[in-house]
Amino acid sequence: MKRNFGALLFGILLLILGGAYLGSAFGLWPMTIFVDGWWALALVIFAVYLMLTSRPNWLNVGMFLLGVFFFIREQSWTARIDDKALFAGMALLYLGVMLIVHFVRKPKYSQPGNPPKFAFQGQPDFSDYPEYTAVLSGLEQRNCCKDFKGAKITAVLGGIDLDLSDVSVSQDVTVYVTCVLGGADIRAPKNCRIVMRSQNFLGGSDNKAQSLPMDAVAPLVTFVCTSVLGGTDIL
């Protein structure tokens, strides 16, 4: 069962805030609920919850920046701040964040086992434990190793399209995938059991590969995916 680490982080945050207010109630330290702009802060917290429990989108990112904007305006120390400049800055931040999210987000494919055609034209790789990295760039690669032992894949502000459908797997292997403001589309090896373990922060990982049953006598390919404002699709 896929665990929602975003909900876990938000739950921990609520526990910390609850403990802080309880401490204030018992006189251990001063704390007040109704700070200036508390309603805007509530909007910010709700937007963060939405971003942690799902991928960032136009609604929750806009809600977050709008809450920050109104919270800043409610503070007494911001009396001299130009509202027009503040709004313009928030609007530009909003557009910039959403352009980045749109760039790194990969299209979703609704039919498992039917990935899109892979149009790689270069020479295939035959490394048994390759490491593929894309930083501020894109990478397309096909591996045809006859004794595949695993791989490490890293995309930072870039994208990777990797085809592993032609590799031969004779033992259980692990493929590590890390995406930070980037994305990876990976076609899984055939005739294997495919599982995914993912940890996502404002990102997502999807396993849509055609896998053999878990009780089948076949190698197990485990994809360990970490996504931070990025995404991984196993096809």
pLDDT tens profile 66-84? 888 888 777 766 667 777 7
Distance CA 179, CA 134 (A): 10
pLDDT at 130: 92
3-state secondary structure of 10: helix
pLDDT at 177: 94
Distance CA 225, CA 177 (A): 5
In the predicted model, residues of the chain with pLDDT beneath 70 are: 1-10, 31-35, 52-56, 76-79, 98, 100-122, 202
Residue given tokens 């400049």 in the structure block: 85
- Beta carbons of 208 and 187 less than 8 angstroms apart: no
Instruction: Look up the pTM and report it.
Output: 0.58
Q: How is the chain split into domains, by residue range?
A: 34-104, 131-234
pLDDT at 110: 44
Distance CA 214, CA 199 (A): 22
3-state helix, strand, coil in the chain (%, to 5): 35, 25, 40
pLDDT at 93: 79
207, burial (CB in 10 Å: exposed 0-12, middle 13-18, buried 19+): buried
pLDDT at 102: 63
